[in-house]
Structure 1
Amino acid sequence: MTWDVLNIIGTIAFAISGAIVAMREDYDILGVQVLGFTTAFGGSTIRNLLIGIPIENIWQQGDLFIVVFLTIIVIFILPNQWLQYWDKWGFLFDAMGLASFAMQGALSAVQIGAPLSAVLVAATLTGSGGGMIRDVFAGRKPMIFREEIYALWATLGGLMIGLGFIQGPWSTGALFVAIVILRMLSVHFKWRLPQHSVS
């Protein structure tokens, strides 16, 4: 049940994120759908590849595909003035997708008995995979490499799960909220990891 809820939240959140980025780049309706779908299902595809889940399982989510399609259509037809709030609230959807898929990737790795290192990699790449695909397809430098702290929160979430600190729905929900809040705080306060620039 927890796995399914995280999958639905992450998929829809990233679908909205991908669709709005595509609209910002002046994509047509087909481009918006393509970017929305690749962002929504990119993280779960990477997760399946990482931990050995059959890749064809992605295509067995028929109802979720319909939900994503309809969600993207709604975003596409919203008046432009509504989309101006993306700059203020758009990071929330991205943070929700990051948290959901990071936790889902970590939980999936734990379920198959993977070592802690694999849990951390699964959490990090599953959580940030959809966003990376979105940014590459939109011709942007991936957020994971340039913006406020992003993938680190996914890794920390994976660490909490891998060490066994997350047991049951309450602790799972608390971790989800914590990752979202930390991501939003890093955006608000512009927290960044150390950088070394060569001029």
Structure 2
Amino acid sequence: MTWEVFSILGTIAFAVSGAIIAMEEEYDILGVYILGIVTAFGGGAIRNLLIGVPVSALWEQGIYFQIALLSTTAVFLFPNNLLKHWRRWGNFFDAIGLSAFAIQGALYADNMEHPLSAVIVAAVLTGSGGGIVRDLLAGRKPIVLRSEIYAVWAILAGLFIGTGLASSPFELYLLFGFVTAMRILSYTFNWRLPNRSLRAAHTNPS
């Protein structure tokens, strides 16, 4: 039941996120649906490839496809005068999707009795894979590759689940709230990981 709740939350959040970005890029209705669906299921497809689950398993999740389609339709039909305010919520829905799918992916790998490293990788790929595909299709630099903290929170979710620190439904919901909150704080306050730039070295060679 817990796994299904996180699957539903992640599907809705990422479908909405993909649809909002598609409309920001002025895609037509087909593009909106494609980006919504790809964002909702891209991470799961990549995860399945790497942990040995047939990609065809995605087609057995009919209810989640219906949820993604309904979520995308709702965003597309939302009144324009209100949708402009919804655009600000793109990062918020992305944070929910990241958290829900990172936990769902980690649970998936943990239930298959994979080692801790595989649980963490499954959390990162499920939580950020759909967003990466979405951003690439929208012609944007993927959020996970920016210096702004993103995938670290998925790693944290995988670590908690893989080590057994979060296993009961109550602990998993607490973890979901924590990861979502940390992602929101990271983009609100522009928290960044250390990075190095070669631009200055190229423009001012010593």
With the shorter chain as reference, the TM-score category is over 0.9
Question: CA offsets, 1:48-81, max 9 Å, x none?
Answer: 1121222111111222212211211111111222
Q: CA deviation at 1:148?
A: 2.1
| 1:20 alignment counterpart | 20
Q: CA deviation at 1:84?
A: 2.0
Greater gyration radius: 2
Return the alpha-carbon distance in structure 2 between the equivalents of residues 166 and 50 of structure 1: 23
Matched, 1:57 2:57: yes
The separation in 2 between residues aligned to 1:79 and 1:192, in whole angstroms, is: 35
Count of residues in Structure 1 that have an aligned counterpart in Structure 2? 199
% same residue: 55
Q: 1:118: how far off?
A: 1.1
C-alpha distance in structure 1 between counterparts of 2:52 and 2:2, whole Å:
20
Deviation at 1:171, TM superposition (A): 0.1
Distance 1:147 1:73 in 2: 33
Question: What TM-score do you get using the length of structure 1 for normalisation?
Answer: 0.96
Shift of 1:15: 0.2
Cα deviation, residue 147, structure 1: 5.3
Q: Structure 1 runs of 4+ off > 4 angstroms?
A: none
Q: Find the aligned partners of 1:5 and 1:185 in 2 and give their Cα distance.
A: 24
Partners in 1 of 2:164 and 2:180 — Cα distance? Answer: 20
Query: 1:191 maps to what in 2?
Result: 191
Determine the structure 2 residue equivalent to 1:84: 84
Q: CA RMSD in A?
A: 1.2
Cα deviations by residue, 1:64-123 (Å, 9 ceiling, x for unpaired): 212211211111111222222234322111011101111111111111111111111111
Provide the rounded CA distance (Å) in 2 between the counterparts of 1:77 and 1:15: 14
8 A Cα contact 2:92 2:184, kept in partner: yes
Decide whether the 8 Å contact of 2:148 with 2:186 is kept in 1.
yes
* Structure 1: runs of 5 or more not aligned: none
For structure 2, the 5+ residue unaligned runs are 200-206
Separation (CA, whole Å) in 2 of partners of 1:65 and 1:116: 30
